[in-house]
């Protein structure tokens, strides 16, 4: 109950910030979204989102899958870092880490906006939606001489849906607060990570694999690629502050020596905490005690940095692995199970 209380307080104080992640987790955990009534019951959505939900119920299940995709990808990308994108059973999902305008928040917003665009586009291509299908603007013969054919991913639809559904939270707050500007920028950067990595996939047609006729379509990159791109942007994110530029407010680099960020870069307003220690008053601040670390690595996954100088414990643990694998004609692989002892290090 203590945790719930803390969480509620944080949500009240920083409602504008933590609602986003809260509704994400809510969405990812509901069974499925089938009718307009479900839209009313989804906790954490703002009124405008409930309206969109009702208007586009059939799209909402893709949004739900997108939310789960974002959480999974965040946890994969941060598995070796002090903050491992831990979600809490209680809200807000990613903890206070994300309610502040940190680099981590920038990542979470970008990956979430991207995941909604990605999942909705996937749903369009798979034919499960009435509102959208493949991108029919991609047709004819390309300058390279191949035929556009097959189902090109309708990324424009997915991006537009993400812009209306995800960004409406920031827009409804008015776009003047620096946090709203930061979130909107990072949402857009996340979607750009898909848009700028669209690929052309082709199939050859002709006798015995010759490529007399080649048909191609536009496809999104795998979501792992999108995660990798956004993680790189996280590593190179720009610290910004709000300034008046002409008559509008804009985010500009805090350090004028740095080159200005582009639409594809992530921006943040506050430096991150060190994430070393557990803080029961701060949801999501779990600390690194008990985390596995790598004794030989000098990077953030190494015991020195991961354990924040507190030292580590070493245990021998038995792992079961596949070994002496043999290929049998035809066609299977048979392996033996080998047991071996390995050292496992965990932070004190
Ligand atoms: C993240 O780290 C915490 C300990 O700090 C651990 O309890 C949790 O299982 C980890 N989560 C993931 C997704 O690895
Ligand atoms: C530990 O770090 C070293 C050096 O970076 C690397 O070569 C090794 O694969 C890592 N071990 C594990 C278990 O990740």
How many CA atoms within 13 Å lie on the side-chain side of 196? 12
201 - beta bridge partners?
Answer: 217
Mutate to test the pocket of ligand 1, among 286, 292, 310 (most ligand atoms within 8 A of CB): 286
- 213-219 and 147-148 beta bridge pairing: parallel
- 267-268 and 238-245 beta bridge pairing: parallel
What domains sit in the chain, N to C, each tagged with a CATH number?
2-268 (no CATH), 303-347 (3.30.2460.20)
Ligand closest to CA 303: 2
Around ligand 1, the residues with Cβ closer than 6 Å are 75, 79, 84, 86, 286-288, 290-291
Residue 19 has pLDDT above 90, yes or no: no
Q: Structure tokens of 236? A: 């190179």
Which pLDDT score is estimated for 224?
98
Mean pLDDT score, 299-305: 95
Q: Could you tell me if 347 and 312 are in contact, meaning their C-beta atoms sit under 8 angstroms apart?
A: yes
Mean pLDDT score, 39-52: 87
Phi/psi for 83 (5° steps) reads: -90, 115
Mean pLDDT score, 331-337: 89
pLDDT digits (tens, 9 = 90+) for 79-112: 999 988 876 444 444 555 566 789 999 999 999 9
Q: Could you tell me if 134 and 12 are in contact, meaning their C-beta atoms sit under 8 angstroms apart?
A: no
Q: Structure tokens of 65? A: 């899958």
Task: Give the whole-angstrom CA distance, residue 274 versus residue 83.
Answer: 9
Task: Give the whole-angstrom CA distance, residue 319 versus residue 272.
Answer: 36
Q: How many CB atoms lie within 10 A of CB 222?
A: 12
Q: Structure tokens of 324? A: 């002496």
Ligand 1 center–CA 281 separation, angstroms: 18
- The sheet with strand 248-253 has its strands ordered as 248-253, 238-245, 267-268
Higher per-residue confidence, 271 vs 175: 271
> Dihedral (C-alpha) 50, 27, 132, 125: value to the nearest 10 degrees?
180
The least confident of 139-143, 293-297, 328-332 is: 328-332
Q: Could you tell me if 198 and 226 are in contact, meaning their C-beta atoms sit under 8 angstroms apart?
A: no
Task: Give the whole-angstrom CA distance, residue 345 versus residue 314.
Answer: 5
Task: Indicate whether residue 80 lines ligand 2 (CB < 6 A).
Answer: no
Q: Could you tell me if 254 and 266 are in contact, meaning their C-beta atoms sit under 8 angstroms apart?
A: no
Residue 12 has pLDDT above 60, yes or no: no
Task: Indicate whether residue 294 lines ligand 2 (CB < 6 A).
Answer: yes
pTM of the model: 0.85
Mean pLDDT score, 260-273: 94
- Cβ contacts of residue 300 below 8 Å, gap of 6+? 80, 81, 82, 306
- Cβ contacts of residue 216 below 8 Å, gap of 6+? 142, 146, 147, 148, 149, 150, 200, 201, 202, 203
Which pLDDT score is estimated for 23?
64
Which pLDDT score is estimated for 174?
63
Ligand 1 center–CA 94 separation, angstroms: 12
Which pLDDT score is estimated for 8?
34
Residue of the CA atom closest to atom 6 of ligand 2: 297
Ligand 1 center–CA 29 separation, angstroms: 19
Phi/psi for 179 (5° steps) reads: -65, -40
Task: Give the whole-angstrom CA distance, residue 294 versus residue 63.
Answer: 37
Average pLDDT value over all residues in the chain? 86
Closest CA to 121 of 172, 161, 177: 161
Q: Could you tell me if 304 and 346 are in contact, meaning their C-beta atoms sit under 8 angstroms apart?
A: no
Q: Could you tell me if 129 and 158 are in contact, meaning their C-beta atoms sit under 8 angstroms apart?
A: no
pLDDT digits (tens, 9 = 90+) for 131-181: 999 998 888 998 888 889 989 999 999 999 999 999 998 887 765 789 899
Ligand 2 center–CA 295 separation, angstroms: 8
Task: Give the whole-angstrom CA distance, residue 237 versus residue 189.
Answer: 11
Q: Could you tell me if 32 and 41 are in contact, meaning their C-beta atoms sit under 8 angstroms apart?
A: no
Q: How far is CA 25 from CA 20, 28, 38, 43, 44, in A?
A: 9, 5, 15, 10, 9
Which pLDDT score is estimated for 22?
59
């Amino acid at each position: 109950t203590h945790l719930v209380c803390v969480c509620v307080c944080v949500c009240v104080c920083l409602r504008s910030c933590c609602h986003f992640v809260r509704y994400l987790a809510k969405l990812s955990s509901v069974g499925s979204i089938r009718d307009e009534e479900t839209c009313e019951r989804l906790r954490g959505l703002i009124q405008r989102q409930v309206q969109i939900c009702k208007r586009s119920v059939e799209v909402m299940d893709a949004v739900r899958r997108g939310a789960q995709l974002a959480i999974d990808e965040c946890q994969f990308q941060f598995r070796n870092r002090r903050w491992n994108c831990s979600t809490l059973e209680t809200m807000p999902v990613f903890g206070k880490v994300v309610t502040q305008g940190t680099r981590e928040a920038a990542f979470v917003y970008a990956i979430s906006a991207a995941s909604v665009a990605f999942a909705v586009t996937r749903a369009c291509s798979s034919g499960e939606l009435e509102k959208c299908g493949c991108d029919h603007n991609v047709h004819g013969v390309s300058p390279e001489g191949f035929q556009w054919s097959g189902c090109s991913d309708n990324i424009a639809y997915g991006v537009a849906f993400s812009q209306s559904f995800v960004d409406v939270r920031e827009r409804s707050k008015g776009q003047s607060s620096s946090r709203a500007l930061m979130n909107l920028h990072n949402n857009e950067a996340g979607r750009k990570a898909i848009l700028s990595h669209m690929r052309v996939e082709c199939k050859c047609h002709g006798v015995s694999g010759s490529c007399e006729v080649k048909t191609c379509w536009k496809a999104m990159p795998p979501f792992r690629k999108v995660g990798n791109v956004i993680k790189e942007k996280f590593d190179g994110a720009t610290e910004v502050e709000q300034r008046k530029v002409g008559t509008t407010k804009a985010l500009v680099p805090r350090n004028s020596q740095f080159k200005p960020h582009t639409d594809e870069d992530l921006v943040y307003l506050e430096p991150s905490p060190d994430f070393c220690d557990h803080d029961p008053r701060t949801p999501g601040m779990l600390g690194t005690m008990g985390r596995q670390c790598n004794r030989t690595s000098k990077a953030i996954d190494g015991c020195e940095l991961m354990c924040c100088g507190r030292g580590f414990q070493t245990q021998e643990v038995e792992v079961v692995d596949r070994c002496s694998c043999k290929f049998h004609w035809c066609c299977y692989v048979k392996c033996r199970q080998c047991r071996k002892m390995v050292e496992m290090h965990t932070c004190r």
